[in-house]
Amino acid sequence: MTIKQTQFDAEKHSEVEKIKVESNYLRGTITPSLKNPVTGSVADDDLMLIKFHGIYQQDDRDLRNERRKQKLEPLYSFMIRARIPGGVASSQQYIQMAELATAYSSGSLRLTTRQAYQWHGVFKRNLKTTIAGINKTMLDTIAACGDVNRNVMSNPLPQTSKLHTEVYEWSKKVSEHLLPKTKAYHEIWLDGEKVESSQEPIYGQTYLPRKFKIAIAIPPYNDVDVYANDLGLIAIVENEKLIGFNVVAGGGMGSSHGDSATYPRIADSLGFCTLDQVLSVAENIVKVQRDFGNREVRKLARLKYTVDKLGFDGFQQKLNEYQGFALADAKPFEFVHNGDRYGWMQDETGHWHLTLYIHSGRIVDTEEKKLFSGLLDIAKIHDGQFRISPNQNMIISDIKAETKPKIEALLKKYQISIGDTETPTRLNSLACVAFPTCSLAMAEAERYLPSFIDRFEALLTKYSVREQPINVRMTGCPNGCARPFLGEIAMVGKAPGKYNLYLGASHVGNRLNKLYRENINEQQILDELEPLIKDFSDNKTEGEHFGDFVVRANHIKAVTNGLDFHS
């Protein structure tokens, strides 16, 4: 079959498509923008292009009004995101990343819900040095953002070293395979040799219509929230050997308040692929999206909308045509939850792994706790890895038996939690960044979640269900960065102090939740939750989770398909 790749259409396509096509493969005017001393920002068109290089321009929203009053431009700075497939870094790399945070950013490292590191608050004058520093650690920021495939997630699986290594290698292979091939990144940030033109064999000049995300899960753990991805791979293991992956496609969380054309969606099952088919399947799903995704309206441009536009059968047929083969039937598997497993664990090689609870992934020193310094000291005596979990936590992994007591002593010294003092609900809670750095935030999330959980825990205690693990997720807007629509309870920001309350996702991450109450404040949320928690306490069946209970007890309708999310 001959594939006719989408060409830019100035009449129909959005402004962003024009910027991409005129950028000479993502170069734009980024270099002159960086040199312009008059402003702390970059030129308008470059705002979009720097995302492909792993960078977002932001401003401190806490200071916006004050600076406006003083007739100053906003306090611009940049957020840098590393591409780090599977979230795995060596101790040495961790040390170097922490040093960059101290030297050039606001002094914290932020672990993301997609297993990446973020540096916030980097000023324009320090951007090149910071990116060069990240590259010196043998990591990079290419395609950490932008209309391309992003960081490929994989289960950090501390229980078995062999399977983790095998699956992690796949996350690297898929990530490398789908990387943009333009030399713009090396030219701009690393002073690489100038190349006149570039080729993008997979993406073409206009790249993808929108971001694209891939995650690999290893059942029974769905900690990557595989169904929230454009492409999900579910590892199938037989006789302790990885034989291939079940393929799911068309997942995503983002939506806009009040716009029912947008909706979160759970990925559909396409079948099973063998290991030698993986790269072809990933590449061809990307190509179908490249050619059939919506390039006119960006908020309808994710693969999930392409799948619904073509219809599931139509999408599958296109994919078969592009890849030249059909997938086999999906293999059986089971997920048990989508959270992390905290504390110490020993693998089959005798090495230890420690999962630490990091509130919202923020590694920072505060008056109360020196988490940043503590992890840095641990990295200095540990010669294994640091793995980020898909839930913003840190796994110190491959710890030798003789290093374990030394790490334990440092944890004690710095009072770092191994997840044995918090409630299961706090451990299962997630919040996105939101204020003060996120330009799209409508309400607080990371800074507010801990105090909300304090009050929610009081409710759980009152009704004797404090030990129940309930997934609570909070975001500052409906873009869904903490995957709120897969929370058994979710609060999605509507306005300062006001949230939409969603209920009824499954505990294993394979069913969406649904809007329960709109635009309410903390007290109203707790008042709404109290009778439900009481009912849960009185009437739950053995082993039943809160999300399943509220559906069974008819408090909320189950959402089996993204198209039903608003109905």
Place of tokens 């497939």: 85
Distance CA 92, CA 383 (A): 8
3-class SS of residue 11: coil
Catalytic pick from 183, 477, 511, 514? 477
Binding mask 178-217 for ligand SRM (x = CB under 6 A): ---------------------------------x-x----
Residue 434 as a binder of ligand SF4 (CB under 6 A): the answer is yes
Residues 6+ apart with CB under 8 A from 300: 261, 262, 294
Strands 76-81 and 55-59: antiparallel
Neighbours of 525 (CB within 10 A): 21
Place of tokens 């020196």: 370
Structural tokens at position 438: 């996120």
150 is an active site residue: yes
Q: How many binding residues for ligand SRM (CB under 6 A)?
A: 32
Structural tokens at position 504: 């009824």
Check if the beta carbon of residue 449 is closer than 8 Å to that of residue 457: no
145 is an active site residue: no
Structural tokens at position 230: 């454009």
* Positions in 448-487 near ligand SF4 (CB under 6 A): 475-477, 479-481
Which residue type occupies 223? D
Residue 56 as a binder of ligand SRM (CB under 6 A): the answer is yes
Q: How many binding residues for ligand SF4 (CB under 6 A)?
A: 13
Residue 517, strand partner residues: 501
- Which residue, 427, 337, 341, is CA-closest to 157? 341
Q: Going along 337-421, which residue ranges are E strands?
A: 343-346, 352-356, 362-363, 385-388, 394-399
The string over 94-109, giving b where at least 16 C-beta atoms fall within 10 Å of a residue's C-beta and e elsewhere, is bbbbbebbeebbebbb
Residues 6+ apart with CB under 8 A from 187: 27, 193, 194, 195
Check if the beta carbon of residue 433 is closer than 8 Å to that of residue 445: yes
The residue range among 218-226, 319-327, 367-375, 439-447 that interacts with ligand SF4, by the rule CB under 6 A, is 439-447
Distance CA 537, CA 557 (A): 20
Check if the beta carbon of residue 284 is closer than 8 Å to that of residue 270: no
* Positions in 414-433 near ligand SRM (CB under 6 A): 432-433
273 is an active site residue: no
DSSP character string of 279-347: HHHHHHHHHHHHHHS-SS-GGG-SHHHHHHHH-HHHHHHHHHHHHTSPPBPPPP----BSS---EEEE-
| Residue 141 or 479 with smaller CB distance to ligand SF4 | 479
| Residue 86 or 244 with smaller CB distance to ligand SRM | 86
The residue range among 8-16, 188-196, 435-443, 537-545 that interacts with ligand SRM, by the rule CB under 6 A, is 435-443
Distance CA 184, CA 202 (A): 16
Strands 362-363 and 76-81: unpaired
Q: Pick one of 215, 432, 490, 512: the residue that binds ligand SF4 (CB under 6 A).
A: 432
Residue 482 as a binder of ligand SRM (CB under 6 A): the answer is yes
* Positions in 220-259 near ligand SRM (CB under 6 A): 225, 228, 252-254
Catalytic pick from 432, 473, 483, 514? 432
The residue range among 364-372, 433-441, 519-527, 530-538 that interacts with ligand SF4, by the rule CB under 6 A, is 433-441
Distance CA 49, CA 417 (A): 39
Residue 264 as a binder of ligand SF4 (CB under 6 A): the answer is no
Strands 385-388 and 362-363: unpaired
Q: Pick one of 479, 506, 510, 513: the residue that binds ligand SRM (CB under 6 A).
A: 479
Catalytic pick from 20, 27, 51, 81? 81
432 is an active site residue: yes
Residue 183 partner contact from ligand SRM, ligand SF4, none using kind-dependent CB cut-offs of 5 to 8 Å:
none
Residue 475 partner contact from ligand SRM, ligand SF4, none using kind-dependent CB cut-offs of 5 to 8 Å:
ligand SF4
Distance CA 67, CA 55 (A): 23
Residue 477 partner contact from ligand SRM, ligand SF4, none using kind-dependent CB cut-offs of 5 to 8 Å:
ligand SF4
| Residue 265 or 318 with smaller CB distance to ligand SF4 | 265
498 is an active site residue: no
Distance CA 8, CA 14 (A): 10
| Residue 188 or 438 with smaller CB distance to ligand SF4 | 438
Residue 145 as a binder of ligand SF4 (CB under 6 A): the answer is no
211 is an active site residue: yes
Residue 341 partner contact from ligand SF4, ligand SRM, none using kind-dependent CB cut-offs of 5 to 8 Å:
none
Residue 476 partner contact from ligand SF4, ligand SRM, none using kind-dependent CB cut-offs of 5 to 8 Å:
ligand SF4
| Residue 411 or 445 with smaller CB distance to ligand SRM | 445
**Smallest distance from ligand SF4 to CB 196, Å:** 37
Residue 359 as a binder of ligand SRM (CB under 6 A): the answer is no
Catalytic pick from 426, 481, 511, 514? 481
Residue 437 partner contact from ligand SF4, ligand SRM, none using kind-dependent CB cut-offs of 5 to 8 Å:
ligand SRM
Residue 250 partner contact from ligand SF4, ligand SRM, none using kind-dependent CB cut-offs of 5 to 8 Å:
none
Distance CA 466, CA 425 (A): 8
Which residue type occupies 55? I
Distance CA 338, CA 334 (A): 12
| Residue 87 or 480 with smaller CB distance to ligand SF4 | 480
Catalytic pick from 438, 473, 494, 511? 438
How distant, in Å, are the alpha carbons of 46, 184, 185, 189, 346 from that of 192? Answer: 19, 9, 8, 8, 44
- Which residue, 139, 141, 53, is CA-closest to 96? 139
Residue 483 partner contact from ligand SRM, ligand SF4, none using kind-dependent CB cut-offs of 5 to 8 Å:
ligand SRM
Q: Pick one of 42, 97, 100, 116: the residue that binds ligand SRM (CB under 6 A).
A: 116
Residue 58 as a binder of ligand SF4 (CB under 6 A): the answer is no
Residues in the site for ligand SRM, rule: CB under 6 A?
A: 56, 58, 79, 81, 112-114, 116, 118, 150-151, 211, 213, 225, 228, 252-254, 302, 361, 392, 432-433, 437-440, 479-483
Residues lying near ligand SF4 in the complex (CB under 6 A) are found at 432-434, 438, 440-441, 445, 475-477, 479-481
Report the catalytic residues. Answer: 81, 150, 211, 213, 432, 438, 477, 481
